Every structure is written in C-alpha cells, then in structure tokens.
Amino acid sequence: MDDEELKLLGIKNDIDENKNKDNNGIKKEEEKENEELQNEEEQPVNEEEEPIDEEEPVDEEEPVDEEEQPNEEEQANEEEQPNEEEKPNEEEQPNENELQAEDENNEGNQKDNLNNQINGENKEKENIEENIDLEIINLIFEKFDNFPSIYKLNLFCRTVKIFFNFLTLDENITKKKIVEFAYYIIMEQFTKEKSINIDINIRNYFIDKLPDEPKSEDSKYFYKRSESLKNYIALLYACYISKINLIIYGPPGLGKTSAARSLGRILKEIYKFKKPFEMHSFHSGTASSHFYGSQIFDNNKIIFKYGSLLNCLIDGYLFIADEMNVSQPNVMGSLSPCFESDNKLNIYIPGLEDPIKINKGFWFMACQNELETKGRNKVPESILHKLKEIYYPEPNITDIEEICMEKNNDLYIKDQPKAIDDDKARLVGKFIIELKNLNCREIKNCSYRDVGKIFLRMKEQSEEPGNYKNMNLYNNILIYIISSLSNEDLVKVQYKIIILIKDIFNLTVEEYTEMKNIVESEISIQTFNNIQYIMKGSCGVSYEKLKKFAKERMKTEIEDIV
C-alpha cells in the first residue's frame, strides 16, 4: 500500500469514523488508530503482540480472558476489527478520482455552509451583505483620494450606507446622486458665502418625510415657502439620520434656534422620543456640571442630579447648546466625550459610579453667533473636528415676506376674519429688512419672534375693540419699536423710523402726521364712554387691560425666578 493509498484510506476512515462514532472522539486518536490498523495489515508478524497491549486496559474484554478462550478466537476478533473498517475503503480505493472530486465538493460546501452560518448568526452583517452593490463601491472608490483623514473617509462610507438604505426607495434618486450627496455633506464647507445646494429629488424626499410641526408654546417655524430654508431643513435631517453633530452659525433673530427646536419636535413625532429636545443657554459663567449634572444634598443624602445633556445622552434625543461659544474654551472642550458614540465607548461622568452608554438617538446641535460677535470664544479643535459647521442661510426678501404671511395666517382658524391681510403681512417682512439696513446702533433688529408678537397684538385688538383706541398696524409697529428705546436714543432715531414706516406701507400725509404726534406727545389718561384709557397721541389702551397685562407679566417673571 503506497503513501497515496494510505492518505486516501486515512481520509475515508475519518469520514466513516465520524459517521459511526460519537462526537466525543478526538481526531488525533482516530488517526492514531487508523495508523495502527494499517501497520497490522503491513506487519502481520506483530499481530499477536498488539492484542495484549490493547486489551489489558479495557475492562469490557476481561470476561474473555477469564473464560480462557482460544487464541484463534482472539485473532479472529482482532482481524474482524480492521476488516470491518477496511471493507468500505476497499470498495472506494479503485475510484481515486471520484474521492478527490468528492473532497473538492465537500470543501466548497463547507465554505458555503460557513458563509451561511456567519450570515445567519449576525443579522446586521446579513443586511450589509444584502446591500453590497458593485456600482456603489466603484463610486466610493472614485472619491478615496479626496479625503484628508481616515476619520473623514470612515464617516463618508458610513453616510453612503445610511443614505443608500434611506433614499433608494425613490426611483428618481440614482446611486451616483446618493454618493455625491454623502460626499457633499462630509466635505462641503457651508460658509456664509455659499448657499446650500441639494439635488431637488433628494431634498423633496427628505422634506416629504417630515410631518407638520406639532402645536407648542413656541411660535411655529415656517420654511416650506422658502427654497433656501427647505434646503437647510433637508440638510439638517440628513445630518440627523447619519448622526453628524452640528454647529450652526448666523446673526441673531433669523431663526437658528427656532429651526432647531422645531426640528426636535418633528423628530419626536417620527421616532417617538421621550422628549423633543433639551436646550441649555450657555454664558460666560457656564460650568460643565451645569449640563452634565452634579452631586447635591437632598433629605440628608448626597445624590447625583442629572443635567439636561446627560438626560439626552441616556434617553437619546436632541441637545441644543444655545450660544455655546459664549462659554469658556475648557467648558466647550468638556463636551468631547459626547461625540464618541461611533466608537461605542462608555463615558464616565464625575459624581457617577458607573459609566453611561450613549444612546444611538442622541444628537447634538450648537446654535451660536459668529466669532466676530462681541464676547465670543473660539471653539476648541478637540471638538471642532467632530462637528459639522453650517452657516444659517440668510433668507432673501421674498422668503421673509412669505414667512411673515404664514406667521400671521397661523394665528387664525380656517375662514376666520384676519386683522391683517396677506399683502400687509408681507410688507411687515419688508419692513424688518429695511429696518436692519438702517444700521442704527440704537435700534434693535426685529426677529420673527417680534413679528409674531405684533401680529398677535393685532389679533387680540380686533377681538376686544373696546379696550383699544386707534391701534392699527402702523401704530402697533411704531409703538413696539420705540418702547425698547431710551429717551436719548428715541430722539436720535424716531423720525427715521416714522419715515421708514411711511415709505414701506405707503401712508397718507394724515397717517404720517398721526405717527409724529404719537412720538412727540406725552402720556395722558382720558375717558371715553366711562372707560379710562392710557393715551399716547391718538392711540390708547384701557386702564383695566393694562392692569391685566401687568399682572400676567408679573406672574411670568415670578415663575421664571422660581
């Protein structure tokens, strides 16, 4: 029997042994037994000696020795063992090519079984295998040389995978568009000079996925009539699903924080978060314990009071860092552990015994003014490279006019008479732009929040006409603007404001003269139909209404203090 036959015999014996023996047998012992059996066949002289060594330690064979059976039976038993094992091998020996083919097939089947086992054991890996697409891979490889770091490259690949699963349901969105959009988000610098430019099919797909903002105490954020704001909201939503944490820059009053709060409420509707968001207003004295939490003394015990950021990390929803760059650099740097969720690291919080695991729903967004603004600090590099910087788009005049119209209409139910028609509401938008363009240090720029307050006053005045005197839209705007000015500043800018209102709303000479009288006259108390009014020129508010205003304001201030 040559070496090749022995190898084939060894392979076949392994197969037969695996079929006939229990799985507790060890492969090495089986190979050893096969070699001994082969040696018995080749060296028959030693057959008489081997049974003695084999049967001495075996308890089951002892009865054979006690009965002193003849050696011929022992030899027969010994010969039967190898013959039983060799018999099937002898049948296979003439077909060496078949055995080799069978082994190759078995090896291929084992590989297939191994792949199936791996895919079956890990559901996530199975999903990844299903989503592998050669065209996507080639498109990704085309971008490889453009990435400055492995971190950016890894973020790009992950974002492509997420977008591929999210966007491929739309037949108008090609694989190339998906890869280009992921690359755009990761590599583009969204500065003040560059407008956000997103493929219209991708943008509309994201926007259509967002339900209407639910009612809340906040004023509603309007964006669907503005092309630039639709691009902005689509970009934010794309950053959320790919878990890209953000810094939003921009001048005050345009809607940075309002957009963040609104999107938080919408995401809560979609993903059923515990809360829509937590917002912490940063200042120069902010410490990390203010948003992480700290130990406090309560009922004779020291307990840890969780901060707003810690709640978001654990429960998984949006954290808004309002005016983050007003705080000190070391405070901003303490936020760094929050951005390690990709590494699946647990983070340790001073005062807590056990580490916390960052919830996959957690998302961070800082809203702040530009560095050039007074009192701002540079964001440390330790967190800056982990955050995507986006400049809030400054809406054009058409966008602002449409937003003002929507804010006014949102105050009324369907078919309810409005105190201000759509055209005048749009003109309010034009006014706040031109007021900003006056570049008067004394005048505070009007925000959408201010516009909403003016519209709400007009609605209330139309519903309670007996409590007001001559409070039309122009006079409301004038009084709202000058009420925040000191007497010294009022003297400097009062006529600039009056002329601007006259030009924007195309007022008559009588209306212009009436506004001048409001500014120049002293406050007085006058009675009409047995109702006392506090008057400023021709405009007035009833004394009872002012008392009610004062009580409500005092109550609000007390609640804020508490």
Task: Please say which residue of 187, 221, 253 terminates a domain.
Answer: 187
Q: Do 152 and 201 have their domain in common? A: no
> What is the C-alpha separation between 268 and 272, in angstroms, rounded?
5
Q: Do 375 and 425 have their domain in common? A: no
Number of domains in the chain: 4
Q: Do 345 and 212 have their domain in common? A: yes
Statement: residue 26 has pLDDT above 60: no
Closest residue by Cα to residue 254 from 429, 384, 474, 442: 429
Residue 348 belongs to some domain of the structure: yes
In Å, what is the CA distance from 191 to each residue of 236, 389, 521?
A: 15, 8, 47
Statement: residue 343 has pLDDT above 80: no
At 118-130, the pLDDT tens digits run 454 445 444 544 4
pTM higher than 0.75: no
pLDDT (0 to 100) of residue 46: 42
Calculate mean pLDDT across residues 322-339.
Answer: 94
Q: Do 401 and 501 have their domain in common? A: yes
Q: Do 206 and 250 have their domain in common? A: yes
Q: Do 419 and 458 have their domain in common? A: yes
Within 10 A of 262 (CB to CB), how many other CB atoms are there? 24
Task: Please say which residue of 391, 406, 421 terminates a domain.
Answer: 391
Which of 38-42, 77-81, 375-379 has the highest average model confidence (pLDDT)?
375-379
Residue 353 belongs to some domain of the structure: yes
pLDDT (0 to 100) of residue 344: 60
Please tell me which residue, 220 or 3, carries the higher pLDDT value: 220
Q: How confident is the model at residue 33 (pLDDT cuts 50, 70, 90)?
A: low
Buried b (16+ CB within 10 A) or exposed e, 434-460: ebeeeeeebbeebbbebbbebbebbbe
Give the residue numbers spanning the domain of 200. 194-391
According to DSSP, the β-strands at 246-249 and 363-368 are parallel
Statement: residue 44 has pLDDT above 70: no
pLDDT (0 to 100) of residue 558: 64
Residue 286 belongs to some domain of the structure: yes
Q: How confident is the model at residue 554 (pLDDT cuts 50, 70, 90)?
A: confident
Residue 127 belongs to some domain of the structure: no
Q: Do 284 and 308 have their domain in common? A: yes
Residue 102 belongs to some domain of the structure: no
Q: How confident is the model at residue 116 (pLDDT cuts 50, 70, 90)?
A: low
> What is the C-alpha separation between 322 and 241, in angstroms, rounded?
22
pLDDT (0 to 100) of residue 76: 45
> What is the C-alpha separation between 186 and 180, in angstroms, rounded?
10
390 three-state secondary structure: strand
What region, left, alpha or beta, does residue 181 occupy, with left being phi > 0 and alpha being psi -120 to 50 degrees?
A: alpha
At 355-389, the pLDDT tens digits run 888 999 999 999 998 887 788 999 999 999 899 99
According to DSSP, the β-strands at 293-298 and 301-306 are antiparallel
Residue 106 belongs to some domain of the structure: no
Residue 535 belongs to some domain of the structure: no
pLDDT (0 to 100) of residue 444: 86
Angle (CA) 148 152 156, round 5°? 125
According to DSSP, the β-strands at 539-542 and 468-469 are antiparallel
For residue 249, give the CATH number of its domain: 3.40.50.300
**Residue bearing tokens 């568009």:** 177
Angle (CA) 431 432 434, round 5°? 65
Q: Do 428 and 369 have their domain in common? A: no
Residue 104 belongs to some domain of the structure: no
What region, left, alpha or beta, does residue 117 occupy, with left being phi > 0 and alpha being psi -120 to 50 degrees?
A: alpha
Q: Do 342 and 294 have their domain in common? A: yes
Calculate mean pLDDT across residues 31-60.
Answer: 47
Closest residue by Cα to residue 407 from 352, 465, 450: 450
Q: Do 374 and 402 have their domain in common? A: no
Task: Please say which residue of 391, 409, 441 terminates a domain.
Answer: 391
364 three-state secondary structure: strand
Rg (CA), the chain: 40
Lowest mean pLDDT of 203-217, 340-354, 410-424, 477-491, name the range.
Answer: 340-354
Q: Do 491 and 406 have their domain in common? A: yes
Q: Do 425 and 375 have their domain in common? A: no
pLDDT (0 to 100) of residue 245: 96
Q: How confident is the model at residue 140 (pLDDT cuts 50, 70, 90)?
A: very high
